[in-house]
Structure 1
Amino acid sequence: MAVDRLAALLADSGGTLREVTATQVLLAEASPRIQFHEFTSAEEATAGADWMWWWVDRDGTCFGLLSQAKILKVSGRRWTVDFGYTTKGHPQSQINKLIEAAKPYSVPAAYVLYCGDRRYRATIECSRTHCGVLCRDRERVGVSVVCALVAHKAAKFHQNAAGLEVFHDSVPVEDITSPVEGLDEPIHSLVRELDEELARFLRQPQRGARRVAKELLRPLEQIRRGQFARAATLEQTELTAGALFQNVPADRGYYSVPYLDHVLRGLRTGVPDYVRDVMEGRPPSAGVANRLGGIVVITDADALG
């Protein structure tokens, strides 16, 4: 709500919402419900990332993602998100750098989208609906999150319409652990030979960190089911130490990397040391602090209400 108000105020006064400002307002307003530790953004040009987000359940299960903040922009009637952005001296696109930068942390790459309030989105022409509501009229979608693999595919195959494709597949940050509409729906994977524990996770309702991982994975699975031209592989990926799921298929479809592993490697049985440092009020190591804009920690992510 605070970010939406800021976006509306700036639009009325002829100003422009900036990613850094929107993130600072979001975190300041959400504190102390969430914890955050801000570093410097000087490394963003090479790392391609702003913040690390971690949802931590009461039993220690947690889910992390490496995020880049982006604004949903409008020019005339064209809506865009600049996923192909490059910086001077770094010819690789920011989206590719973000996906690469997530690897050392064994977490997925994601975008936090700032999409303005409902008045700002009034001219979006997306005929698809969410529970009977037009895409542009969804509640709480002003601050949303989506896996970077969705954006990478959209930028490649949809080009000028990539921004709207990704906006449609994004999930409101406020809803990602505790859905307002009730229990989350099952995910039906194109990969049939799943480990029983993973199949149960996709089939049954989840809360907290598990639900965040499931909702980040959901649009990837939906898109993958439409890619029948490429058969699903049963080959297993290399195990991520501490990952909740140890048997994950290496299926990739038309994504740049195996999508199940990319998302689920961020779902852990225990909290990494640098996250524990933030939770206990200690500064994380320089190796982490020098590469990120900051760390966000949502504790008791599985709490009701």
Structure 2
Amino acid sequence: MTSLADRPDLYRAFRRARIAVDRHASKMVAAEHIWAEETATDLLLGEVWPHARFRKFTRWQERHVGADWLWWWVDSTGESFGMLVQAKNLKRPSARRWHIDFDYTPDGATQSQLTTLLMTSDLFDVPAAHVLYCGNQTYRKSLNCSLRHENDWGCHKRARAGVSVVPSIIPKYLKQFGPSDLAAQAFHWSLPLEDFADPARDQRRLRPLGRVHPDIKEFMLEPQVGARRIAKMMLESLTAMRIGQMSVVQRADTAYSPDLLFDQLPMDTGHFDVPYVAHVLRGLRPEPPHYLEELLAGDLPERWMDESIAGIAVVSSAGDEMM
């Protein structure tokens, strides 16, 4: 097992960030309050800096609590993976009840934050994800979900999961069934954020369904590095869920923008309402979008961007750190 001292600086920065968020959450719980999503995000980004450069935009709309952030992971080759993230807290309204307010609709809004998040991710051509602030293992000790767990370890025993990431089409899919343990199931399908920065983490072989382009098949079955590894991790839970869905596989590929790393993406939707592989892999690009360096250098964002997101963060490798 690789020791902490031997892990990349980027991984150690994300670990420090998760611990800082966990400690803040624990103090707020001890004071009988829930922590603020925006405060947790500030702590997270502050601890990861300078490995993650970020810029907050003006508070364009106060009603956007847990505002959306555009994250780009850029590796040493220039390949990049973007995702639009929204922060949500795992709340404990009572000793045995857990809640994540995916359905939250701000005052004056006509649709939920989840719907807006997915629409905005279409605007930026990246996948949508939720960053879940879940407290430490003590806070989650009564958290149980109805899903199967490996080695009989329940969700409450998961380590490093205080800051986790789940593709947003998963809670959207789960919501249609209205499970009483929706929050626990969303947590179950999430991955610890610091694992995304850990190149030593084991990679799963993802099973392609139907006839997919050879490049996609190789991507899913073989180990990946850099930005490609981040994208593949985002597919893990979606692929596992899709295998359990009883629906016919749609076999047709489609041509996407030449700006994407893969321009032939499978259109199978399963029960997700959107092509789940294409939804994720549209965020994988051969080079960063042009606006990244301009924004981080202090240029004003274009109006449509400033009105859509609260800020932008760029996680970059030093040498082959993400490799």
Shared fold by TM > 0.5? yes
Match of 1:284 in 2: 301
Give the counterpart of 1:147 among 126, 146, 167. 167
Match of 1:114 in 2: 133
Match of 2:31 in 1: 13
Q: Counterparts of 1:44 and 1:273 in 2: how far apart (Å)?
A: 28
CA contact (8 A) 2:228 2:284 kept: yes
User: CA, structure 1 residues 23+268, in 2 after alignment: closer, same or farther (shift >3 Å)?
Assistant: same
Give the counterpart of 1:193 among 211, 230, 236. 211
Aligned partner letter, 1:52: L
Q: Taking structure 1 as the reference length, what is the TM-score of the superposition?
A: 0.92
CA contact (8 A) 1:178 1:208 kept: no
CA contact (8 A) 1:48 1:98 kept: no
5 Å-filtered alignment, 1:1-305, equals 1-43=19-61, 45=63, 49-76=67-94, 77-126=96-145, 128-129=148-149, 133-178=153-198, 180=200, 182-190=201-209, 192-228=210-246, 230-280=247-297, 282-300=299-317, 303=321
Q: Counterparts of 1:227 and 1:235 in 2: how far apart (Å)?
A: 18
CA contact (8 A) 2:60 2:306 kept: no
Shift of 1:238: 4.4
Q: Counterparts of 1:148 and 1:304 in 2: how far apart (Å)?
A: 24
Shift of 1:97: 1.3
Aligned-residue Cα RMSD (Å) equals 2.2
CA contact (8 A) 1:41 1:50 kept: no
* Greater mean deviation of Cα atoms: 251-260 or 63-72: 251-260
Shift of 1:104: 1.4
Query: After superposition, what is the alpha-carbon deviation per residue over 1:64-103, rounded to whole angstroms, capped at 9, x for unaligned?
Result: 0111110011122111111111123323222111111111
- Identify unmatched segments of 5+ residues in structure 1: none
Q: Counterparts of 2:112 and 2:157 in 1: how far apart (Å)?
A: 31
Query: After superposition, what is the alpha-carbon deviation per residue over 1:111-160, rounded to whole angstroms, capped at 9, x for unaligned?
Result: 01000011110111237435764322222111111111001011112443
SS in 1 for 2:101: coil
User: CA, structure 1 residues 4+106, in 2 after alignment: closer, same or farther (shift >3 Å)?
Assistant: same
- Identify unmatched segments of 5+ residues in structure 2: 1-18
Match of 2:8 in 1: none
Q: Counterparts of 1:257 and 1:91 in 2: how far apart (Å)?
A: 22
Aligned partner letter, 1:103: D
Overall identity of the aligned pairs, in %? 38
CA contact (8 A) 2:265 2:278 kept: yes
